[in-house]
């Protein structure tokens, strides 16, 4: 049985992943901003087989509250061995280009709050000598593109942070997984036209659970995004800067 803390638990991908954990009889602490929504999800997970469920509200940019929420999760579940960080926003690129406040807000949510949460979690797991940390980054972090370079650069920062954290913790028996989804059909992307490259949250969730179980380091979901991003990363800069992406 895993004892799992999920931050950003009301997101479509996180909820789909939690359902898979619940079906296996794991214990889950769900963290997010919407208390009512968290309670609804927790009740559903209990029906699906979760051995224990708990909830906690958190504004991820309230850094002073992070330790308290982690403490609560440990108390409610009798310890922690797995953390999934899944919160984030899809930045409005135009707003961020024209407003430093908007830029800072997006970095605060998509990058700094993730790193802030990971710091005490990593220290606790290192001390206990085991654990799995999984964080949803994005393929957007593999190379900056004019259409979303604020979001992409925030995710790139998370990806680099996780790479160093993984190297630091590997001797402590703690695995760090970087999850890089491509296009996923969620409420956050409801206004985007969909096509063949789009995945459903349930499919991404299956890939996340499998990667955590196998203690992978990095996973692209669906898998073909590893090939797509390999090509994009290797387009010469003099060509890339003339392409509208």
Give the Cα separation of 201 and 199 in Å (integer).
7
Q: Smallest Cα–Cα separation from 151: which of 200, 183, 109?
A: 109
134, 177 in Cβ contact below 8 A? yes
Quick: pLDDT tens for 206-217.
999 999 999 999
CA–CA distance, 196 with 204 (Å, rounded to integer): 15
Using one digit for the tens of pLDDT, what is the confidence trace for 66-119? Answer: 999 999 999 999 999 999 999 999 989 999 999 999 999 999 999 999 999 999
Domain range annotation of the chain: 3-240
Which of 63, 107, 149, 151 is an active site residue? Answer: 151
* Known catalytic residue at 63: no
Give the C-alpha separation, 192 to 16, whole Å. Answer: 21
Would you give per-residue pLDDT tens digits along the chain (245 residues)? 999 999 999 999 999 999 999 999 999 999 999 999 999 999 999 999 999 999 999 999 999 999 999 999 999 999 999 999 999 999 899 999 999 999 999 999 999 999 999 999 999 999 999 999 999 999 999 999 999 999 999 999 999 999 999 999 999 999 999 999 999 999 888 888 888 899 999 999 999 999 999 999 999 999 999 999 999 999 999 999 998 88
C-alpha–C-alpha distance, residues 116 and 49, integer Å: 32
Q: Which of 143, 151, 173 is nearest to 239 (CA)?
A: 143
| Residues in contact with 68: Cβ distance below 8 Å, sequence separation at least 6, in sequence order | none
**What's the CATH number of domain 3-240, 3.40.50.620, 3.40.50.700, 3.40.50.720, 3.60.20.10?**
3.40.50.720
Omega of the bond prior to 222 within 30 degrees of 0, cis?
yes
Q: What is the reported pLDDT for 194? A: 83
């Amino acid at each position: 049985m895993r004892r799992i803390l999920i931050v950003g638990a009301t997101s479509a991908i996180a909820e789909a992943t939690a359902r898979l954990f619940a079906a296996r009889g794991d214990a889950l602490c769900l963290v997010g901003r919407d208390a009512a929504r968290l309670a609804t999800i927790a009740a559903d997970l209990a029906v699906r087989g979760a051995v224990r469920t708990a909830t906690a509200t958190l504004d991820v940019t309230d850094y002073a509250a992070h330790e308290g929420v982690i403490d609560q999760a440990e108390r409610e579940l009798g310890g922690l061995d797995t953390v999934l960080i899944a919160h984030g926003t899809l930045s409005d690129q135009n707003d961020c280009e024209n407003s430093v406040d908007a830029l800072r807000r997006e970095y605060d949510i998509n990058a700094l709050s993730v790193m802030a949460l990971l710091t005490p979690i990593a220290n606790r797991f290192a001390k206990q000598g085991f654990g799995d940390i999984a964080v949803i980054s994005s393929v957007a972090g593999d190379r900056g593109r004019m259409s979303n370079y604020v979001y992409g650069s925030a995710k790139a920062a998370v990806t680099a942070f996780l790479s160093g954290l993984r190297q630091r913790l590997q001797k402590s028996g703690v695995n760090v997984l970087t999850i890089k989804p491509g296009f996923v059909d969620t409420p956050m992307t409801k206004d985007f036209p969909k096509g063949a490259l789009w995945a459903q949250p349930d499919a991404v969730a299956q890939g996340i659970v499998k990667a955590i179980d196998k203690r992978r380091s990095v996973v692209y979901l669906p898998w073909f995004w590893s090939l797509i991003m390999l090509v994009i990363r290797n387009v010469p800069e003099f060509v890339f800067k003339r392409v509208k992406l």
